[in-house]
Amino acid sequence: MSIKLEHVNYIYEPDTAFPVHATDDVSLEIHDGEFIALIGHTGSGKSTLIQHLNGLIHPTSGTIYYNGKNIADEDFSMKELRSKVGLVFQYPEHQLFEMDVFTDVCFGPKNLGLSEEEIEQRAKDALEMVGLDESYYKQSPFELSGGQKRRVAIAGVLAMKPEVLILDEPTAGLDPKGRDEILDQVAWLHKNSHMTIILVSHSMEDVARYAQRLIVMNKGKVMFDAAPVEVFRHYKELETMGLAAPQVTYIAHALKERGFDINTDVTTVEEAKQEILRLWRQQKC
Ligand code: ADP
Ligand code: MG
């Protein structure tokens, strides 16, 4: 699986007095099995960009290839693309509507015209993947906690057996416990099912902890596309875009300025802890 974007531009309301250039000459390639985080200030074009990836919107100009095939070609199957590239919208719980959890998760695979047996098996597998056991099957989705509702919505997409899972700010509005549950589950999926993950996030801490590759957007353009540790070295430029490096990276820089021989590439609390312990042991000797 690969998705390639070449010079993708998207303009909302192009024929009006106020066209919005939401993605501006975006070129990038997404490879099989990657865990990518997409970050950027509100309005930077993240949601617009990801909607291109499963053909929900089409570029105003530019080309998108899925496994080398131009998705604008007449013989390209959009239906297949939509089932292979699963998109979980922001606040996906707003789209739950069935009477019970199980029926809701069956909705997508039902539309694929599969057998009853296959539909139920997919729903069971998907609910297991998000950590919801049989005791949830007959519950109304509306009576669940915020984090659980969101997991049901994610299961609905997983039941389509996508190769790529795109999550648009899946932790927005959740408490820290709900947030960690969702992200740990996504990390588990990436590790165990080898699904390609694209996580739209606001949190540099989450990005540093989970993603292998970080794409930073600003005003519709891709500003950085590299490993998180590499991107966070540019923390001063990130600040000009209303972003920042993880807090521990700032602490490392502050210690360095005070004369400590610390590695300023730390981006997670665990890395910072190891680095500070190393310094502490060195000073004791
Ligand atoms: P992000 O997800 O990074 O917050 P969006 O992709 O939602 O950014 O928005 C990018 C730009 O496009 C913003 O200026 C936003 O106001 C504009 N925009 C988004 N959706 C629409 C729409 N349906 N109609 C007009 N403008 C839109
Ligand atoms: Mg958005």
Q: How far apart are CA 189 and CA 12, in angstroms?
A: 34
At 216-246, the pLDDT tens digits run 999 999 999 999 999 999 999 999 999 999 9
Taking CA atoms only, the protein residue closest to ligand 1 atom 16 is: 43
Q: How far apart are CA 262 and CA 256, in angstroms?
A: 6
| Amino acid 150: pLDDT | 92
Nearest to 172 by CA among 156, 183, 164: 183
Residue 39 CA to ligand 1 centre (angstroms): 14
Look at residue 34 and tell me whether its pLDDT is greater than 80.
Answer: yes
Look at residue 101 and tell me whether its pLDDT is greater than 80.
Answer: yes
Look at residue 285 and tell me whether its pLDDT is greater than 80.
Answer: no
SS (H, E, C) the chain: CEEEEEEEEEEECCCCCCCEEEEEEEEEEEECCCEEEEEECCCCCHHHHHHHHCCCCCCCEEEEEECCEECCCCCCCHHHHHHHEEEECCCHHHHCCCCCHHHHHHHHHHHCCCCHHHHHHHHHHHHHHCCCCHHHCCCCHHHCCHHHHHHHHHHHHHCCCCCEEEEECCCCCCCHHHHHHHHHHHHHHHHHHCCEEEEEECCHHHHHHHCCEEEEEECCEEEEEECHHHHHCCHHHHHHCCCCCCHHHHHHHHHHHCCCCCCCCCCCHHHHHHHHHHHHHHHHC
Residue 274 CA to ligand 2 centre (angstroms): 35
At 7-29, the pLDDT tens digits run 999 999 999 999 999 999 999 99
Look at residue 202 and tell me whether its pLDDT is greater than 90.
Answer: no
Dihedral of alpha carbons 225, 230, 231, 236, sign: negative
pTM for this entry: 0.94
Residue 40 in contact with ligand 1 by CB distance below 6 A: yes
Residue 142 in contact with ligand 1 by CB distance below 6 A: no
Q: Of the ligands numbered here, which is closest to the C-alpha atom of 221?
A: 1
At 54-100, the pLDDT tens digits run 999 999 999 999 999 999 999 999 989 998 999 999 988 888 888 99
| Amino acid 158: pLDDT | 95
At 122-153, the pLDDT tens digits run 999 999 999 999 999 999 999 999 889 999 99
| Amino acid 93: pLDDT | 87
| Amino acid 218: pLDDT | 97
At 161-201, the pLDDT tens digits run 999 999 999 999 888 888 888 999 999 999 998 899 999 99
Q: Of the ligands numbered here, which is closest to the C-alpha atom of 40?
A: 1
For the CA of 48, the closest atom of ligand 1 is 6
* Interval 90-116 mean pLDDT: 92
Binned at pLDDT 50, 70 and 90, residue 282 comes out as: confident
